[in-house]
Amino acid sequence: MLGLRQIYEPVTHALFDYRGIDDGINADMLAKPLETPKLDWRAAERAGERLMEEQARLHHFAVERPYGMAYIPEYGAYTYAVRSDIDWRGHGWDTTILLDGNTGQLCELDLPRGRHLGNTISTVLWGIHYGDLRDWLPFRIAIGIFGLLLAMLSHTGVAIWWRKRRVRRTI
């Protein structure tokens, strides 16, 4: 998923309902970047808050706090990200909208779960890879145990190699 996206995405498309990078925002890239949108930063922030609240009601999730906003001239759009109760990861955010920089209308909604099974699986795999699944203590304990086991196996391997090396040198 992280290193072989050109393989991961077609396979995920074939097996699950999945919305990949090419299915979403890349299809909406402008021919010429829009450097100065009609909406200024504050107006875009207000539009983002309003749109996110509407989407939260519509898709049954709760916004915990805003996380970040950015303007992308290549799309003529603002991203507005929040921390929500449906985010999988412990750090960062997974709930994002894209809104038109001129009109403030919703262009895209990206939810961590519930809309596309393939995207839900991808979000969970991302969290597992980085050891960052939100509020899931058993997972964090398992990661800690596996880390200790790996360190122990590494130490054991080096100790066995060292003993065999010593024996070979004495012969």
Give the length of the chain.
Answer: 171
Which segments in the chain show pLDDT lower than 70? Answer: 21-27, 92
pTM across the whole model: 0.71
Structural domain boundaries enclosing 116: 5-135
Q: Is the dihedral of CA 5, 8, 9, 10 positive or negative?
A: positive
Rg (CA), the chain: 23
CA dihedral 107, 112, 118, 121 (to 10 degrees): 160
Q: Cα dist. 24→13, 95, 110 in Å?
A: 13, 15, 10
Same-domain check for residues 130 and 140: no
Domains in the chain, number: 2
Same domain flag for 151 and 121: no
Do residue 74 and residue 155 come from a single domain?
A: no
pLDDT digits (tens, 9 = 90+) for 45-86: 999 999 999 999 999 999 999 999 999 999 899 999 999 988
